């Protein structure tokens, strides 16, 4: 028997049998930092024509003067009747005595309008371009 082949005690084997130990390999994973790379990012803006649409809400008021010419003792309150706002207009008129006369009322009727409009607008959009930058090497160093 050579020096490499020493008898190995094997408790389950017969007395005259020779046991040879087996080798086993183990794998190991290691991490290491590689060289970092440089990137260049360029941004630029461009004009883009787009159509935007919106619903515009508006309101108009019709003013109708309604003559009254009736004497009143106090100034009437502004009031709303059937969706019409009524604003009393009074003036003092000189008689032999002073009286308050309701001259007229303003009747305001509201009309709601809706209009959808589409207008071209110029919008700015920004984009980015990423470029990899080649690593610069020193010509005096040798790579091995």
pLDDT tens per residue across all 144 residues of the chain: 455 555 555 555 566 677 777 777 778 888 888 888 888 888 888 888 999 899 999 999 999 999 998 889 999 999 999 999 999 999 988 777 778 889 999 898 998 899 998 888 888 888 888 888 877 655 555 444
pLDDT value at residue 33: 82
CA distance 19 to 7: 7
| pLDDT value of position 144 | 45
Q: Where are the domains of the chain?
A: 38-133
Helix (H), strand (E), coil (C) string for 85-138: EEEEEEEEEECCCEEEEEEEEEEEEEEEEEEEEEEEEEEEEEEEEEEEECCCCC
Give dist(CA 99, CA 67) in Å, integer: 17
Q: Are 43 and 130 in contact (CB under 8 A)?
A: no
Helix or strand run (H / E) with residue 74 = none
């Amino acid at each position: 028997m050579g020096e490499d082949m020493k008898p190995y005690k094997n408790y389950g084997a017969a007395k005259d049998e020779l046991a040879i130990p087996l080798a086993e390999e183990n794998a190991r994973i290691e991490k290491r930092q590689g060289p970092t790379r440089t990137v260049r990012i360029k941004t630029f803006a461009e004009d883009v024509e787009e159509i935007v649409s919106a619903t515009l809400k508006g309101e108009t008021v019709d003013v109708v003067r309604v003559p009254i010419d009736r004497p009143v003792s106090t100034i009437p309150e502004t009031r709303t009747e059937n969706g019409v706002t009524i604003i009393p207009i009074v003036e003092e008129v000189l008689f032999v005595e002073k009286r308050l006369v309701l001259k007229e009322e303003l009747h305001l009727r509201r009309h709601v309008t809706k209009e959808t409009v589409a207008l071209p607008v110029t919008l700015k959009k920004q984009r980015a371009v990423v470029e990899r930058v080649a690593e610069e090497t020193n010509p005096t160093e040798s790579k091995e």
